[in-house]
Amino acid sequence: MDILRRDHAAHTDAAKVNRPNRAMITILCLLGISLNLFLVLPNLRYVVHGDNDFLAFYAGSALAGTPDLYNQEAVRRVQAPNWENPRTIAYMRLPFYAGMIWPLHFFRFQTAYWVWQAVSLLSLLLFVYWWPEPDRGMTAVACCWSMPLLNCFIMGQDLMFVMLILAVALRLLLRDKPFAAGCILSLCCIKYNLFLMLPLLIVRKRMWRLAAGVAAGGSVLLAISFAVGGWSWPLRYIAMLRLPTTTPYYGGLPNLHGLFFGQPHGAALEVLAAALVLAVSWRTMKSDEVRAGFAAMLAGGLLLSYHAFFADAFVMAPASLLFLSRFANPAYKLVALVLVLPFAFWQYLLAAPLIPPVAVFLAVLLLMFLVENAPPGLRKRLYLTA
């Protein structure tokens, strides 16, 4: 783990050079927030009324500890008094998470919703603080300019809880505490579909102590899931996942599943593309720096995720920052911001996008691959810090 210590120290020293002043950071953050609010103005009403994905989490908290956690009729009964448009939004997290958010059901829906949003905002602030990049200003700007992040709040999503967990786990890993990092990282199975590449990273980097921590933490969460959901919850969970309404199939999904929507032989093409993403990620993870490995894990994980929506694309912000923080030249750091600017995601707002929106994420992963596999001389000319 000496490599991790040297890696962390090198990045700390590099961040002290050319650090933007606070006034500039504040201006950039306000500009990003203002532009994103303008672009999604028609959808802001969902933030006020809570008629969004929070309905599913509120139902999960109310049904925790009962056999009806994945019963769509029971979920509908909980949600019906609070929706504006009649529909049922399935609770799709594992039972342990329902146990974690169980206290929400003690509040009336609107109160619970604003508690949820407040905790999500706090998680965002803590994410910026704990994210293992010394230049917090760059991280804050990337968050404020991220359209998917704003969509997290519009849709009442819980991604910021997961990103905070990831930040704490990665910080522990860089401080040579892999077992503790693994225990914390196991909580990311809240949205396990975004971390399908984690086993590949562990094997590629031979992070066996991290794997032990993930296994230990996962075992505890599994036990809690059986305590909350009963012995038959896996069967009921799988049956819920197989419902046609659980993962709508359309081109707006930020993954390979959405990329090949409506294409002839789409399923076969998706399998071939998934194999290519696995191969490219494996080669990218060869870097000595753990940051590059985690960046490839996040980018590849989003592409492979079957059930993911626009808000989940926020994982590309930390992925880009992790990877491009290796550049000493500030010009290359700006590339990280370009990859999280609204202009990279605005096509999700169009009925007929000019190019598949997933192309942005494929470009990020390809850039990681090319740099990590570049000849040593070229890598030096790219002003890499390592």
Question: Is there a domain that residue 171 lies in?
Answer: yes
pLDDT at 339: 63
pLDDT at 332: 61
- Sorted by sequence, the CB contacts under 8 Å of residue 310 that are 6+ apart come out as 148, 151, 252, 254, 345, 348
* Per-residue pLDDT at 73 exceeds 60: yes
* Per-residue pLDDT at 58 exceeds 90: yes
When computed from its CA atoms, the radius of gyration of the chain, rounded to whole angstroms, is: 21
* Per-residue pLDDT at 18 exceeds 50: no
3-class SS string, the chain = CHHHHHHHHHHHHHHCCCCCCHHHHHHHHHHHHHHHHHHCHHHCHHHHHCCCCHHHHHHHHHHCCCCCCCCHHHHHHHHHHHCCCCCCCCCCCCHHHHHHCHHHHHCCHHHHHHHHHHHHHHHHHHHHHHCCCCCHHHHHHHHHCCHHHHHHHHCCCCHHHHHHHHHHHHHHHHCCCHHHHHHHHHHHHHHHHHHCCHHHHHHHHCCHHHHHHHHHHHHHHHHHHHHHHCCCHHHHHHHHHCCCCCCCCCCCCCCHHHHCCCCCCHHHHHHHHHHHHHHHHHHHCCCCCHHHHHHHHHHHHHHHCCCCCHHHHHHHHHHHHHHHCCECCHHHHHHHHHCCCHHHCHHHHCCCCCCCCCHHHHHHHHHHHHHHCCCHHHHHHCCECC
Reported as half-sphere exposure (CB side, CA atoms, 13 A), residue 211 has a value of: 12
Indicate the pTM of the whole model. 0.89
What residues make up the domain containing 12? 2-381
Question: What digits encode the pLDDT tens for the residues 277-300?
Answer: 999 999 988 877 788 899 999 999
Rounded to an integer, the average pLDDT of 67-87 is: 90
One-letter amino acid for residue 359 of the chain: A
Rounded to an integer, the average pLDDT of 263-273 is: 89
Task: Indicate the pLDDT class of residue 49, thresholds 50, 70 and 90.
Answer: confident
- Percent of the chain scoring above 70 in pLDDT: 85
Question: What digits encode the pLDDT tens for the residues 36-47?
Answer: 888 888 778 778
Task: Indicate the pLDDT class of residue 340, thresholds 50, 70 and 90.
Answer: low
pLDDT at 17: 40
pLDDT at 3: 46
The C-alpha atoms of residue 101 and residue 78 are separated, in whole angstroms, by: 15
pLDDT at 8: 52
Task: Indicate the pLDDT class of residue 14, thresholds 50, 70 and 90.
Answer: very low
Least confident of 77-91, 150-164, 346-360: 346-360
* Per-residue pLDDT at 4 exceeds 70: no
Rounded to an integer, the average pLDDT of 339-344 is: 66
Rounded to an integer, the average pLDDT of 77-89 is: 87
pLDDT at 116: 96
Question: Is there a domain that residue 318 lies in?
Answer: yes
Among 175, 174, 143, 173, residue whose Cα is nearest residue 159: 143
Question: Is there a domain that residue 176 lies in?
Answer: yes
Higher pLDDT, 327 or 217: 217
Question: What digits encode the pLDDT tens for the residues 157-190?
Answer: 999 999 999 999 999 999 999 999 999 999 999 9
Rounded to an integer, the average pLDDT of 74-101 is: 91
Question: Is there a domain that residue 386 lies in?
Answer: no
Average pLDDT, the chain: 85
Higher pLDDT, 382 or 70: 70
Residues 252, 348: contact at Cβ < 8 Å?
Answer: yes
How many separate domains does the chain show? Answer: 1
Question: Is there a domain that residue 157 lies in?
Answer: yes
- Top mean-pLDDT range of 6-15, 117-126, 256-265, 355-364: 117-126
pLDDT at 133: 76
Higher pLDDT, 253 or 305: 305
Rounded to an integer, the average pLDDT of 314-339 is: 72
Task: Indicate the pLDDT class of residue 249, thresholds 50, 70 and 90.
Answer: low
Least confident of 173-177, 261-265, 266-270: 261-265
Least confident of 106-115, 139-148, 191-200: 139-148
